[in-house]
Structure 1
């Protein structure tokens, strides 16, 4: 069984029927975050149905159809990526991905999807790779953008989920739009910058009882890094400790609950050992018990250091919150 590294701690491997117990345990951990957007988790509710799901993919893979892979982080299955459809004759396939909370915010979904898309284009000669997402699934849509996909359109009221109908956005990338094989080194750098941003943004999440750990921000920044809020009349400049401490408190003392933040769009430029990223982000949660939605823009600078790529500074400007 092949293993593809997704960084120092993560691996991508095929999921097979004999792994059903491990797969079911993972789906149980992922169910609360996956089920709101897709009926995927509802297909595996006990060992028999989990085994049947993996066996179905094994049968379809044997006829060069759909296939499923797992994402392991530090030896634990934390997510998966799959071709929900794979039609070699027409040259069209559809890719999808999911993660449990322990796998979020580390760039795993982006790297895993890129690996499958790269295989589809460079090894199988596919012409088009699609990605589909419910219109309200902002993280899923942000993933499609990070993969270089374009939105083809919306299938209105296309899917039935939890007794209601949902619009489904169709995204795609074509073979001629995919980076060539000789650009692998740049793709690897961009994947690492995606991971760093994912860790930073994911550090704030406290949805579903998850306890945030903003200390991981120190892992993605150089020690002398600066974070700047430019949301008022004058910028407020923080060192890492000054930024982390008050936000850790707000996210754990009940001030901010069910809070999450995500990238909506990003534009990244790499120049040798330095890089820049301009991002639009969204966020939502309860502030002192009142629901809010908001967003804004970030500009982030990166440096290649002896320890690898790290953030050196980040500045943000919030858009007005939506009550």
Structure 2
């Protein structure tokens, strides 16, 4: 995947040099991101980040997942991550996920990065459906889904496992026919 540039950010694959920033971003965000994403735990360290980057690189090469970083426009500061993951070629669909470090939250970065990644999925990968699956009470993630025009479909019982326990999740969908320039606030 090549670098993609958006309004106030860029998307690109993670690099080994990003490990210290990634660790700092995860540690900074335990109180917000860690509530909903158990991998963002207190002891998160460089070995965890490097292992994640290796998985991301392998999945990217296989075309099964496109987990990339959200960076400042010059690529020097890591803002968070965004992904089209669990790509199922037989069903022509995948999942859309996102997270933004605590110091950069509430600036519209998650919605802009998620919208750009959805465009990538529909136009470059030619997927015909994306799902956003967020814990039922994760208002921030659900708000991003709604902001980018994802359609709420249901509350699915025991859809996610968080901190070792099954929990209900809100399932949203995006399809190419209903996702376009209007979803991006006029950018397409």
Normalised by the length of structure 1, the TM-score is 0.53
2:84–2:121: 8 Å Cα contact kept in structure 1?
Answer: no
Count of equivalent residues: 185
Match of 1:154 in 2: 155
SS at match of 2:31: helix
Change (3 A) 1:174 1:35: same
Pairing of 1:81-120 with structure 2 (within 5 A):
81-120=82-121
User: Secondary structure, in 3 states, of the residue corresponding to 2:39?
Assistant: helix
The answer to which structure, 1 or 2, has the higher relative contact order (CA under 8 A, 6+ apart) is 2
Alignment correspondent of 1:5: 5
Rounded to whole Å, the distance in 2 between the matches of 1:187 and 1:151 is 15
Partner of 1:30: 29
Taking a change above 3 Å as real, the CA distance of residues 175 and 52 of structure 1, as seen in their structure-2 partners, is: same
- Counterpart of 1:71 in structure 2 is 70
**Partners of 2:58 and 2:43 in 1: CA distance:** 17
TM-superposed deviation, 1:68: 1.3
CA distance in 2, matches of 1:44, 1:54: 17
Q: 2:44 maps to which residue?
A: 45
Shift in CA distance, 99/146, structure 1 to aligned 2, threshold 3 Å: same
Match of 2:18 in 1: 19
The structure carrying a bigger strand percent of its residues is 1
Consecutive unaligned residues of structure 2, counting only runs of 5 or more, are none
Partners of 1:160 and 1:112 in 2: how far apart? 25
- How far does the alpha carbon of each residue in 1:144-190 deviate from its partner, in whole angstroms, 9 at most, with x for none? 111211122222123332354311111101122222xxx4xx55545
TM-score with structure 2 setting the length:
0.87
Structure of greater Rg: 1
Say if 2:63 is the partner of 1:59. Answer: no
- 1:81/1:113 contact within 8 Å kept: yes
Q: SS where residue 89 of structure 1 aligns?
A: coil
